Structure 1
Amino acid sequence: MDGGAVEAARHWLAEQGVTQVRGGWVRHEQPDVLLTANDVAHTWAGDVFAEDLDAAGRLRLAFGLLDLLDEYWVTCEIRFADDSSEGPLPADVLWDGYRRRLEADEEVEAVTYSLWVDWFEDRATSAKAFAEVLGNDIEHVVTDPSQAPLRRARRVLECSGPVPWSVKEPTYRTALRLPALHPALFRGLRASFHDVYGDLEPAAASALLDRLDLPVGTPHLAELRQVLAAGHANHHRSPAARDDAVRSCS
């Protein structure tokens, strides 16, 4: 979390007549009506992009609002602004903002959910987004690992199911060299099979899976190995395959 950005966002909300109180938020004109962080995000996050700031300044303010409210809707407004007639947003500020939050100690569900259902599921943005948050520097993460980049790598791998296989396979193969990433890589492979928009190539995914160093009895490992070996690429296109695998592995 960026403390300076959070305080800037808090100050901006105060200028809109919104302040934080015990248990939620209130408007100055309705101090007895308690608002949730989600209420605040839906009502005011979009207004950030109408502020009299340059594009980078508006985006940094939006990220501060995301840190303050921890609500997925703020990421939606960021995406809308990037895709608007005044977009795209400055790519360096946008992806640095995502990377920094993916490396944070705190839980970042709003950020990973945003990557998964917005940037990664959209084939127009998935390759660029995946490269920016992990693909471009996976070699550095693996050869010179430290805690913050490893947190980012784990989080991105785990939500990377919808990313096209041809885009993510080189990153998966590089991540394979670092055992600390094997559990996250397994979850990424599993999501690639189970997500509605998940994407993988069964033979190549099976070969990667066989090289993972995972604890004996890892849940769902035997089932995933079986469906991939049978040539199935996605649970939703072969719904009976996973059920058959569960029965045979139980």
Structure 2
Amino acid sequence: MRLAFGLLDLLDEYWVTCEIRFANEGAGGPLPADVLWGGYRQRLEADRDAEAVTYSLWVDWFEDYATSATAFAEVLGNDIDRVVSERSEALLRRARRVLECSGPVRWAVKEMTYRTAMRLSALHSALFRSLLASFHDVHGNLEPTAALTILDQLDLPTNTQHLAELRHVLSAGHKNHYRSPGAWGDALRSCS
């Protein structure tokens, strides 16, 4: 694991995260959870680019219903209260990164974390982007009424791009762009 995470730090390439997941699911797996998720958390908190890690979370761990709940809990859900109470820049950085790629995580898994994150205005923009991704992602998952309640409590600039459109589709009860393909176009026309 040290070698794999060292390679990830050195190369910053998504394929390294694929190899970590393959090792977790392979004959020698599962990998020790504290080391696996600790490695992810550490890189999500680092003051450097974390695109390979967030992409890995999004497409490998969060889109897979068999792993999304555990992965989300390990990288944010289990310690969102600590993030909110400590408010360190590293913890906020991790929370923002996880929220923004959490669109595919089932709503029942992420809703309480989202509600807790609402207590920090520093996370409101990330929460908005997570709700937007939850609507637009092919595997995005949200409950419109609950998502609208969260959206309405976020302190966002009035000129936030797509805020009105997201409010429009959620108010109409749409769960996902791909389940309601004309809804976003209707919102764009109505809100322009």
1:125 aligned to 2:64? Answer: no
Tell whether 2:117 aligns with 1:181: no
Q: Deviations over 1:100-121 (max 9, x none)?
A: 0000111110000000000000
Q: What is aligned with 1:78?
A: 20
Look up the match of 1:23. none
For the aligned residues, what is the CA RMSD? 0.5
Map 1:136-155 onto structure 2 (within 5 A).
Answer: 136-155=78-97
1:128, distance to aligned residue in structure 2 (A): 0.3
Aligned to 1:248: 190
TM-score by structure 2 length? 0.99
Secondary structure at 2:28 match in 1: coil
Cα distance, 1:86 vs structure 2: 1.4
Alpha-carbon displacement from aligned partner over 1:99-144 (angstroms, at most 9, x marks no partner): 0000011111000000000000000000000000000000011112
Cα distance in 2 for partners of 1:92, 1:233 equals 34
How many Å separate the matches in 2 of 1:235 and 1:229?
Answer: 14
Give the TM-score of the pair, scaled to structure 1.
0.76
Which runs of at least 4 in structure 1 moved beyond 3 Å after TM superposition?
none
Q: Indicate the structure with greater strand content.
A: 1
Taking the aligned partners of 2:103 and 2:117, their CA distance within structure 1 comes to 15
- TM-superposed CA distance for 1:215, in Å, is 0.5
Which amino acid letter does the alignment assign opposite residue 63 of structure 2?
E
Matched residue pairs, number?
A: 192
Q: Check if 1:115 corresponds to 2:57.
A: yes
Instruction: Give the Cα separation in 1 of the matches to 2:70 and 2:121.
Output: 26
- Give me the whole-angstrom Cα distance separating, in 2, the residues matched to 1:223 and 1:198: 17
- Report the Cα offset of residue 227 of structure 1: 0.2
Higher relative CO (CA 8 A, sep ≥ 6), structure 1 or 2? 2
Rg bigger for which structure? 1
Residue segments in structure 1 that go unaligned for 5+ positions in a row: 1-58
Give the % identical residues.
76
